[in-house]
Amino acid sequence: MGSLPAQEAQEVQWVERAQRGDREAFGLLVECYQRRVMSQVFRLVRRRDEAEDLAQEVFIKAFRAIRSYNFRSPFGAWLSRVAVNHCYDYLRKERASRISYHWQMAEESVRRIEAQAENPQGSRLDPEQQAALRDFVGKLLDRAPAEDRVVLGLKELEGLSVEEIAEILKLNRSTVKVRLHRARKRMLEDLKRWREGR
């Protein structure tokens, strides 16, 4: 008990020092939040090779904008907003420059995955099929618009609640729900197209 408020007070102190241009204090904040930012960036962008570079860029942006942080929300939420906005910009550029094709999956894998989807208690997927399914859904995500990817990534991969997503994206709850609904619908339509073209 008492360690959390002390930690928060320490964090506030670091933020205030960073706002005055103290890089050492900002370095301590980076140490605190690097894993969280890295995880968020990776889940949204899904590029292992670029996650670290992007996470560094997020911190650089955060340092430049840290004077605009007004302590109304937790620093972590503010930093998440910077990270999500940076990923969103990246995804928009990336989608324009990269065409992603549907992933080819073996018929057997498709059948096993469908059986597992219909009956989660039934036969488990082996690691190879798990990897195939990850690649497949990852490809579907790559094809989705940046807006869908961000909202689905935060909800389905980061496991955030609608309220938390609304706080990060500065939207109201109903807008987040509408966006989630739309994104899921588009993903299902894309999956249907893949099934029909198979």
Partner 1 sequence: MRCEEMRRMILQDWPEEVPAAVREHVAGCAECRAYGRDFGVLRVGFRALAAEPVPEPSWGFATRVLRRLEETRDEVSVEFLERAGRRVVYATCVLALTLLLALALPSSGPLRGPTTAELYLAQAEEVTAGSIPIFTGELPSNNGATPVAPQNSGTGKKP
Residue of the chain from 8, 22, 31, 108 that contacts partner 1 (CB under 8 A): 31
Token reading at 40: 């968020």
Give the up-direction half-sphere exposure of residue 16: CA atoms within 13 A in the CB hemisphere.
Answer: 6
Nearer to partner 1, 170 or 185 (CB): 185
User: Cα(64)–Cα(69) distance, rounded to whole angstroms?
Assistant: 11
H helices of the chain, in order, are 3-19, 23-45, 48-65, 75-97, 107-118, 127-143, 146-152, 162-169, 173-197
Alpha-carbon radius of gyration of the chain: 20
Residue of the chain from 27, 94, 95, 164 that contacts partner 1 (CB under 8 A): 27
* Contact window for partner 1 (CB under 8 A) among 25-33, 70-78, 79-87, 88-96: 25-33
Contacting residues toward partner 1, per CB under 8 A: 23, 26-27, 30-31, 34-35, 38-39, 42-43, 48, 51-52, 55-56, 59-60, 63, 113-114, 116-118, 120, 125, 130, 133-134, 136-138, 140-141, 152, 156-157, 159, 177, 180-181, 184-185, 187-188, 191-192, 195
